[in-house]
Structures are given as C-alpha cells and as structure tokens.
C-alpha cells in the first residue's frame, strides 16, 4: 500500500523581529507540532523553508515553516510539495485571520485566499484552492489603527491566554486531520470551540 504523505505548513515571518506577532500564528502552531511529533524543523542549504518529517509506517507527516516571508509563502509551498509528491488535498495550511476573534479557530476543506497575502501567494504559485486550512483568529485592529502595524504587533496580556489555547486547538486539529481526515478535524474544531 502506498504511504500517504501529509504536508502541514504554518505561515509566518522568520526572525526575532516577528516572533510571537499575530501574523506568526502559523509558526506558533508549528512549534507545538514539533513537540507532538518529537522532531525539529531545520533549514537545508538553498531551500527557502525549514522542514521536519515523521512517519508511522502508513503515513508520512512533513512539517514546513516557509522562510520566504509571508507574502512569498507560495514559493516554498510549491517547491516542497513538488519535491515530495504532495497532492493538493494533502496539504494543510495554518495561518492567522483578522476576521475571527482572538482564540477562535476555523477548519475548512478549501476556499479562496481572502485578503491574506500568504494564502494569495500559495494559490498563485501552486494553482491550488481546494486544500485544507486552519485559520487562527487574531481579531481585527481597533478602528483607525494601521493593519500592518496590527498584524505585526504582539497580542496584549488579555489576548495571550486565548491565543495560546487556540494554538493548542489548531495543533490538535492538524493531528486529527492526518489521522482521520478533514471532516474529523472540522468536527474536533467545532467541539473545542463549543467548550
């Protein structure tokens, strides 16, 4: 039987300047997945991403953290997917969403990129739209505040516990997706959010 290959991509910007900002929600979830699978994402020479892989014999899970900066995320996703023969439906992308309140997550089987530049880049580079995704809510900026400043800012003390919980829930949904598929991941997300 052919081994299933699952690619999980967490979006964000590399470097200490951007660490723990709202826009790096995908990176935060990848940190938890590294712990779950007992692996460490590493960058290999000349590749614009860090990766790690885990297998149980029936499936291989590849974790990817693009290092291209958010707006060019698609460059890394296209290359790592092609290199590993990953099909569209087996690529899960995790990213921040200002249209969801802080601490809320949504799991979907597909859809458009919306206004998210990282997702727009992935769609443009790969030609895909029907790939699963997990959106981690950061909340929208206060009225009158600059959008870039908001997403590149760090959550306040009142938001941090909700965001930490959302990262854990998103990681659990990503694992569920690898084990039982997108429908099961969506059910788990709904159950977590109702608690």
Active site residues: 23
**How far is 166 from 160, CA to CA, in rounded Å?**
10
3-class SS of residue 162: helix
**Per the structure block, which two tokens stand in for 147?**
């959008």
> Which of 33, 30, 6 minimizes the C-alpha distance to 89?
6
- As a whole number of angstroms, the distance between CA 167 and CA 159 comes to 12
All residues at 6 or more sequence positions from 58 whose CB lies less than 8 Å from its CB, including other chains: 1, 3, 4
Structure tokens at 79: 């290359």
Judge whether 107 and 185 are in contact, CB under 8 Å. yes
CB atoms within 10 A of CB 115: 11
């Amino acid at each position: 039987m052919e081994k299933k290959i699952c690619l999980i991509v967490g979006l964000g910007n590399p470097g200490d300047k951007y660490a723990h900002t709202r826009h790096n929600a995908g990176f935060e979830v990848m940190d938890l997945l590294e712990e779950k699978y007992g692996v460490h994402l590493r960058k290999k020479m000349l590749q614009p991403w860090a990766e790690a892989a885990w297998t149980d014999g029936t499936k291989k899970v590849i974790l990817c953290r693009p290092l291209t900066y958010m707006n060019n995320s698609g460059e890394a996703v296209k290359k790592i997917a092609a290199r590993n023969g990953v099909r569209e439906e087996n690529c899960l992308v995790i990213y921040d969403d200002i249209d969801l309140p802080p601490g809320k997550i949504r799991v979907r089987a597909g859809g458009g990129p919306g206004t998210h530049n990282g997702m727009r880049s992935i769609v443009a580079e790969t030609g895909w739209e029907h790939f699963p995704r997990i959106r981690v809510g950061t909340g929208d900026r206060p009225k009158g505040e600059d959008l870039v400043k908001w997403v590149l800012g760090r959550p306040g003390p009142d938001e941090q516990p909700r965001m930490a919980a959302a990262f854990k829930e998103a990681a659990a949904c990503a694992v569920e997706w690898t084990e039982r598929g997108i429908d099961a991941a969506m059910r788990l997300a709904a159950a977590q959010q109702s608690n």
